Amino acid sequence: MARIAGVSRATVSYVLNDTPRQTISGATRARVLDAAATLGYAPSAAARTLRTGRSDVVLCLLPDWPIGQEVGSLLTHLSTEFAAAGLTFVVHPGTPADRPGGDLWKAITPAAVLAFTGFSDAGIAALRAAGVALVVALLGPGPRPHRELQATQERIGRLQAAHLADAGHLRIGYAYPDDARVRIFAEPRLDGVRAGCAERALPEPEVHTVAVDAEAAAVAVRAWRSAGVTAVCAYNDEVALAVLAGMRDTGLDAPAGLALVGVDDLPAARLAAPALTTVTTDQRAVAAHLAATVVAAVRGGERPVLDAAAVVRLVRRAST
Amino acid sequence: MARIAGVSRATVSYVLNDTPRQTISGATRARVLDAAATLGYAPSAAARTLRTGRSDVVLCLLPDWPIGQEVGSLLTHLSTEFAAAGLTFVVHPGTPADRPGGDLWKAITPAAVLAFTGFSDAGIAALRAAGVALVVALLGPGPRPHRELQATQERIGRLQAAHLADAGHLRIGYAYPDDARVRIFAEPRLDGVRAGCAERALPEPEVHTVAVDAEAAAVAVRAWRSAGVTAVCAYNDEVALAVLAGMRDTGLDAPAGLALVGVDDLPAARLAAPALTTVTTDQRAVAAHLAATVVAAVRGGERPVLDAAAVVRLVRRAST
DNA sequence: GGGCGCGACTGACACGTGTAACTTGCTCCC
DNA sequence: GGGAGCAAGTTACACGTGTCAGTCGCGCCC
């Protein structure tokens, strides 16, 4: 490559990296770029990583709970955003048990790690020490600066509660998910509902755990009804569909029997009878924010602030 | 590391890699392993990749269509399987447009690449040349050896058709998806339905494209009814739910109006009214097969054969 | 007793890159 | 005329690993 461009290897490196404080004549630069193009040359990431001690890979650790299409969409957008910034976005699914010594991070030496949860402060420090520029745990308890999505999830709950309060409901229920693995999502959402109720001087929401199952949901429905609840916020659309099925089994109809609002805007939400009111998140905007945060940390720069209210939106349908 | 174990660097390498044809005394081996453990030493993947020209990363390229939880589950299982084999499984979502020069492969130098589709034979050859041991395009036209999931998808369609034929239906419809991006899944499934019909000497299935939308589905439902169709295979559960919504709008009920069978066994399928009969795939078994295929190619060995019939299963519910 | 094989280990090189330090013309100013 | 300064490159080293070729004792056999 350096040979056929007729320059030294160092010059090639300077040209390809636009190294500052290095002066390269236009002619030489063109020759190098030409040669690279005709040879289809791409620098070896391995060598570069070895030399600099840091790769341009952004690693996203997926938790072990079932990922739906919202997360899928978020990942796709993240990939696009990072590609635009010259970073390689890569996802590692699977349980923590699969990576015994935590050697994955040492092995990949990523520039940044995004995880939904699961980092102790010690774990974060260890990653830092291993050369990772930024570690972001999106959710979970702990100091705010690194929990980028916590406020967004709370906002979702607030929006659900506010919508039902606006419709005149005075006693609100919450359908909490059965699966313990999604608690990190459920807790902030429920906190948001609580905050929304408090804001309107409504009593605390009546929380029941609802498995994705018609009979289990029917039990909760009867409990809500006898407690005077007239509207329910569901953890997500799946749980909402279960509540809907439970109401059907109980001979009730939405919104007359119970008003119902979900989260995620699944395709199935639109097709339900009645069509499900739901809260949707602008995954593209969230992805752009996360990417900007990472890029700022890796390249240096101001970290952006996410306007949680701007990325969540209510989709009104027949169930409320 | 080598210093504190009191041996040469080469010896460390031999111990840690269990290099064949190298004899290491038990005492030395123990000293090295001890030192590695107390130091928390993990070899640098970058250096290793640079030296060997091949990393232990298995890269999975996701297409740009929305990934549901079946794919999510497949990825999780793949991750576990590969971890057990000492390989690192990593997923790259996003459109091909995001990786302009195809430099991702050159940059990562993965041991193997799994993709759902999108490789021309020339592209595969290029990857081979770049040092990738195995390239698997899971679906799509082309020579069989590398289309590992094609037969499984066909089997799904066969199973749908066989189930409806067994129930006595003589005229079968097919609800084809609206989204052009999922055609690689839809085509083999439809081929399977065709084969299943032919096997039972039934006429060709009556194919209609159905958007995930109640009104669009209602049009298709009326068309099927007037053509004498009594049962419909849907591309997946989402399309099936749309058909169900279309039937509701038309005043029909399943299975009396039309029997209906979907694919994927979404949580929503169980909650629909009536509950949806569907075909589900054992993603764990598929993942194990794919992992075994890759491991065989990377380490050398016999490539396993997937019994397509064993991994798909019918879930009978009220809609048929 | 000398050569040979063998177990156990070490020395040295190569992989492809980033970058600090150095060289070489050339211009410009006192 | 000569040194300072700068543009335009080059040389050389380091990153951490895998592995080939050697080295060094030591027992064994003819």
Q: pLDDT digit string (tens) for B143-169?
A: 655 688 889 999 999 999 999 999 999
Q: What is the pLDDT of residue A128?
A: 72
Of chain B, the percentage scoring pLDDT greater than 70 comes to 89
Mean pLDDT of B301-314: 89
User: Which of A16-30, A135-149, B223-237, B262-276 is least confident?
Assistant: A135-149
Mean pLDDT of B51-64: 87
Mean pLDDT of A78-91: 89
Residues in chain A with CB shorter than 8 Å from the CB of B214 are 270-271
CB nearest A42 (choices: B46, B106, B238): B106
Q: What is the pLDDT of residue B192?
A: 97
Q: What is the pLDDT of residue A302?
A: 83
Contact yes or no for B91 and A94 at CB 8 A: no
Contact yes or no for A94 and B79 at CB 8 A: yes
Contact yes or no for A89 and B93 at CB 8 A: yes
Rounded CA-CA distance B304/B291 in Å is 10
Q: B79-104: per-residue pLDDT in tens?
A: 999 988 888 899 988 766 555 555 67
Distance of A201 CA from D18 C1′ (whole Å): 69
Q: Give the confidence band of A137 by pLDDT, cuts at 50, 70, 90.
A: confident
Of chain A, the percentage scoring pLDDT greater than 70 comes to 89
**Residue predicted with more confidence, A79 or A148:** A79
Is the pLDDT confidence value at A94 over 90? no
Q: What is the pLDDT of residue B301?
A: 78
Is the pLDDT confidence value at A38 over 90? no
Which tokens sit at B222?
A: 């009326």
User: Which of A64-78, B113-127, B265-279 is least confident?
Assistant: B113-127
Mean pLDDT of A186-193: 96
Rounded CA-CA distance B279/B240 in Å is 12
Is the pLDDT confidence value at B27 over 90? no
Rounded CA-CA distance A182/A64 in Å is 9
Mean pLDDT of B177-183: 91
Contact yes or no for A90 and B94 at CB 8 A: no
Distance of B14 CA from D26 C1′ (whole Å): 23
Q: Give the confidence band of A31 by pLDDT, cuts at 50, 70, 90.
A: confident
Q: Which residue has the tokens 């439970």?
A: A246
Average predicted confidence (pLDDT) for chain A: 88
Within 10 angstroms of residue B307's Cβ, the number of other Cβ atoms is 12
Mean pLDDT of B289-302: 86
**Residue predicted with more confidence, A2 or A288:** A288
Task: Using the CA of B17, give the nucleotide whose C1' is nearest.
Answer: D18
Q: Cβ(A269)–Cβ(A263) under 8 Å?
A: no
Rounded CA-CA distance B110/B130 in Å is 9
CB nearest B93 (choices: A68, A84, A91): A91
Q: What's the one-letter identity of residue A213?
A: D
Q: Chain D positions under 7 Å from a protein CB?
A: 7-12, 14-21
**Residue predicted with more confidence, B311 or B110:** B311
Q: Give the confidence band of A102 by pLDDT, cuts at 50, 70, 90.
A: low
Which tokens sit at A254?
A: 């939405």
Contact yes or no for B80 and A98 at CB 8 A: yes
Q: How far is CA A57 from CA A80, A113, A260, B96, B103, in A?
A: 13, 9, 42, 17, 13
Distance of A2 CA from D11 C1′ (whole Å): 14
Q: What is the pLDDT of residue B312?
A: 96
Q: Give the confidence band of B119 by pLDDT, cuts at 50, 70, 90.
A: low
Is the pLDDT confidence value at B298 over 90? no
Mean pLDDT of A49-53: 90
Q: Cβ(B113)–Cβ(B138) under 8 Å?
A: no
Q: Which residue has the tokens 């696009």?
A: A80
Distance of B298 CA from C4 C1′ (whole Å): 39
Residues in chain B with CB shorter than 8 Å from the CB of A248 are 273
Q: What is the pLDDT of residue B98?
A: 58
**Residue predicted with more confidence, A7 or B232:** B232
Contact yes or no for B98 and A75 at CB 8 A: no
Q: Give the confidence band of B123 by pLDDT, cuts at 50, 70, 90.
A: low
Rounded CA-CA distance A308/B10 in Å is 54
The verdict on pTM exceeding 0.95 is no
Q: What is the pLDDT of residue A23?
A: 81
Within chain A, residue ranges assigned H as helices are 2-5, 9-17, 26-39, 45-52, 69-84, 103-108, 121-129, 150-166, 183-199, 214-226, 237-249, 267-271, 283-299, 308-311
**Residue predicted with more confidence, B311 or A117:** B311
Q: Cβ(B198)–Cβ(B229) under 8 Å?
A: no
Residue of A nearest to B249 (CA): A273
Q: Give the confidence band of B196 by pLDDT, cuts at 50, 70, 90.
A: very high
Contact yes or no for B68 and A64 at CB 8 A: no
Residue of B nearest to A80 (CA): B98
Average predicted confidence (pLDDT) for chain B: 88
Q: Give the gap in angstroms from C-alpha B96 to the nearest C-alpha of chain A.
A: 10
Q: What is the pLDDT of residue A248?
A: 95
Which tokens sit at B261?
A: 């069978």
Q: What is the pLDDT of residue B305?
A: 87
Q: Is the CB of B17 under 7 A from strand C?
A: no
Q: Which of residues 22-81 of A touch strand D (CB under 7 A)?
A: 22-25, 27-28, 47, 50-51, 53
Task: Using the CA of A53, give the nucleotide whose C1' is nearest.
Answer: D15
Is the pLDDT confidence value at B43 over 80? yes
CB nearest B69 (choices: A67, A106, A108): A67
CB nearest B268 (choices: A72, A88, A268): A268
